[in-house]
Amino acid sequence: MHNKVKDTAFLGLCVSLALGLAYIEVLLPPLIAAVPGIKMGLPNIILIFLLYRRGLPAAATVSLLRMVLVTLLFGNWMAFLYSLAGGVLSMAVMVLLKRLNFLSVAGVSVAGGVTHNVGQILMAMWMMNTAELGYYLIVLAVSGTIAGLLIGLCGALLIRRIPNKW
């Protein structure tokens, strides 16, 4: 019983941290004002850490809870659908690449960042019934690579620095 309570408290802390990072991201000015939709993805630092330390169930739980809370506090349900599409696709790709064990944490994060954007664009293409949005993937692939690298490096640092004793 003690471990279950400890695990629940730890995941609650991770949700809080991810939500706090999402709030910080909302407060930041857009990285490139002329290009909508580009974000750093700061909450993904927590997800990368969890994926490597606790596995898919913990990372997916925190990811979904964070998406719902961010939607309720800062967004709308359309944004939730885009986030969900990107989150599910990127998590699946990151889990697969982590299991294959040939990329670093940063490499897995880059793949997650790019596929998150792919998921969002696919959702937008479906909702707006237009394939032309696919061209926007060029811009988002570059931003997803850069953000994924930075997030992955931060996540790798956390994995190295925080002991796996809990």
Q: Structural domain boundaries of the chain?
A: 2-161
DSSP state string for 6-34:
HHHHHHHHHHHHHHHHHHHHHHSPPSSTT
Each of the 166 residues of the chain gets a pLDDT tens digit; together they read: 568 898 899 999 999 999 999 999 888 776 654 566 678 899 999 999 999 999 999 999 999 999 999 999 887 888 899 999 999 999 999 999 999 999 999 999 999 999 999 999 999 999 999 988 888 889 889 989 999 999 999 999 999 999 886 6
| CATH domain 2-161 topology | Arp2/3 complex 21 kDa subunit ARPC3 (1.10.1760)
CA 78 to chain centre: 17
DSSP conformational letter for 125: H
